[in-house]
Structure 1
Amino acid sequence: MKRFFDIIVSLFVLIMLSPVILVTAIFIRIKLGSPVLFKQQRPGLFGNPFYMLKFRSMLDSEGKDGLPLPDDQRLTPFGQKLRATSLDELPGLISVLKGDMSLVGPRPLLMQYLPLFNQRQATRHNVRPGITGWAQVNGRNAISWEQKFEYDAWYVENRSFRLDIKILLLTVKKVFLKEDIAADGHVTIEPFKGSDND
C-alpha cells in the first residue's frame, strides 16, 4: 500500500507542479548556471547506494586547494529561498517513482556517515529513505544529530500508513511556515562526526 501510495502521489505532484518545476529550473540556470540538478550518491534501503536528485542551490565555487568552499560561501540568497520553500526537493519525486526513495522515511544522508552509525541509528536504513520524515517535522535541521536519529529509529519501529499521512500534513505546514531550515550558526547543518554511544 505504501509503495502504491508513493507512486500515485509523486506522479500527481510532478504533473500538477510541472510548470513550477520548469520555471524553477530556468531560474536556477540563469542565477546559478549549469547543471540545474544536484546529483549525489546516498545510502538507500539497507544502505545500498543510489543517486539522489535535488535542484541545485549552491555555487560550484572552489578554494585555492581545489576543494569546494564552505556552504555559507556557496549558498546564495536565491539558493536559500529554494531551500526555505523546499522547491529544491521536487526532483526527489523522480527517485520516489523509481523506488529508490519513499515520500516518507528517514532522510538519506552521506555515504561517508555509514561507518559512524551505532546499531540503533543504523536501523534508519531498514526502510526506504524519504523526501520528508518524522525527524523533519520534529525539528529538521534545528535539532541535534542524536535527536534526529532517535526520531528516525522511532519512525522505523512505529511506521504506519496513518503516521505517514500525519507526517505529510505536518510537512506541508512546516514548508508554509519555513521552520527549522538551518541549525544555529550554520546555513544548513553541521557535519555528523559520529555518536558517543555504541
Structure 2
Amino acid sequence: MGTSKKKYDYLKRAIDIVGSGVALVALSPIIGAVGLAVRSKLGSPIIFQQERPGKDGKIFTIYKFRSMLDVDEAKGLVSNEDRITSFGQKLRSTSLDELPSLWNVLRGDMSLVGPRPLHVRYLPRYNAHQRRRHEVRPGITGLAQVSGRNLLNWSDRLDMDVEYVEQRSLSLDCQIVWKTVAAVLDRSGISAEGHVASSEFTGAATANQQAADAA
C-alpha cells in the first residue's frame, strides 16, 4: 500500500466517524418514520440483519431496513421476487433501506464509500484479482454503484471495486458521493433484469486461474 493511500485511510476513517455520526443525528426523524412505516407495512422485525464480509474478509453483521415479507411457502412467498412488495421496492429505489448501515460505518465495519459488502457465500468464488476488493472497508456506496449499480455484469462490477481500491482518494470519494445522490434521485440501476436486486455471482475464476491461485 502506498504511503499516500495509507495516510488517506486514516483521514477517511475520521470522515466516516464524523459523517455517520452527524447523519444519524440529523436523519433520526426520517429513520424513525421509515422504521414505523416498515413496522406497519411489513411487520417485525423492522431491521434486516445479515452476515457480510468486510475488510480483509472479516465477517460482520450489516443492518438495513427490512424490505421483504417473510418466507411463506403456503402463500407462495419463496423467492425474493415473490416477497418484495411495492413498499419495499420504493425503499430500495430511494436507498432509504440503507440508513441503518450508518451504524455500521460508525462502528468501523463499513465506510461511507467503498466496494459494497456482498454475500459471505461469494468469498470462495473470487479469483485473486477480485479478492482485492476486501483490502478496504466496504461502503454504503461505491464506484460500481454510481456506474450502473446492479445493471453491471459481475466482471465489470468487481473490476470497478478493485479500481476503487487502487485509486481511492478524497477527490474520488467526493465524486462518488455526488453521483450517488444523483443516482438515487434518478432511481437508476436498482435491479438487474429478472431479479429484485443483482443476479447471483457464481464465480468468474477459470480452472487455470484457480490452480494458479492455489499454487
- Same fold? TM cut 0.5: yes
Alignment of 1:187 with 2:204, yes or no, is: no
Q: State the secondary structure of the residue aligned to 1:137.
A: coil
Alignment of 1:29 with 2:39, yes or no, is: yes
> Is contact 2:125–2:205 with CA below 8 Å preserved after alignment?
no
Alignment of 1:48 with 2:50, yes or no, is: no
* Rg larger for: 2
Structure 2 residue corresponding to 1:172, chosen from 169, 181, 188: 181
Alignment of 1:8 with 2:10, yes or no, is: no
The aligned residue for residue 97 of structure 2 is: 88
Identity between Structure 1 and Structure 2 (%): 51
Q: Distance in 1 between matches of 2:138 and 2:205?
A: 24
Alignment of 1:153 with 2:162, yes or no, is: yes
The aligned residue for residue 62 of structure 1 is: 72
> Is contact 2:51–2:61 with CA below 8 Å preserved after alignment?
yes
- The CA deviation string for residues 119-152 of structure 1, in whole angstroms up to 9 with x for no partner, is 1100000000000000000010011111100100
* 1:176, distance to aligned residue in structure 2 (A): 0.6
Q: State the secondary structure of the residue aligned to 2:102.
A: helix
* 1:13, distance to aligned residue in structure 2 (A): 1.2
TM-score by length of 1: 0.96
Q: State the secondary structure of the residue aligned to 1:60.
A: coil
The aligned residue for residue 141 of structure 2 is: 132
Structure 1 residue corresponding to 2:30, chosen from 15, 20, 34: 20
- The structure with the largest helix share of the pair is 2
Q: State the secondary structure of the residue aligned to 2:62.
A: strand
Root mean square deviation, CA, Å? 1.3
Q: Distance in 1 between matches of 2:129 and 2:168?
A: 16
Q: Distance in 1 between matches of 2:15 and 2:111?
A: 9
Q: State the secondary structure of the residue aligned to 2:73.
A: coil
- AA partner of residue 20 (structure 2): S
Q: Distance in 2 between matches of 1:92 and 1:131?
A: 7
- The CA deviation string for residues 76-97 of structure 1, in whole angstroms up to 9 with x for no partner, is 0000000000000000000000
- AA partner of residue 70 (structure 1): S
Q: Distance in 1 between matches of 2:150 and 2:15?
A: 27
Q: Which runs of 5+ in 1 are unaligned?
A: none
Q: How many residues align?
A: 196
Alignment of 1:122 with 2:136, yes or no, is: no
Q: Distance in 1 between matches of 2:71 and 2:192?
A: 22
Structure 2 residue corresponding to 1:39, chosen from 49, 60, 81: 49
Q: Where has structure 1 moved over 6 Å in runs of 4 or more?
A: none
Q: Distance in 2 between matches of 1:62 and 1:117?
A: 32
TM-score by length of 2: 0.89
Q: State the secondary structure of the residue aligned to 1:125.
A: helix
Q: Distance in 2 between matches of 1:27 and 1:118?
A: 41
* 1:196, distance to aligned residue in structure 2 (A): 4.2
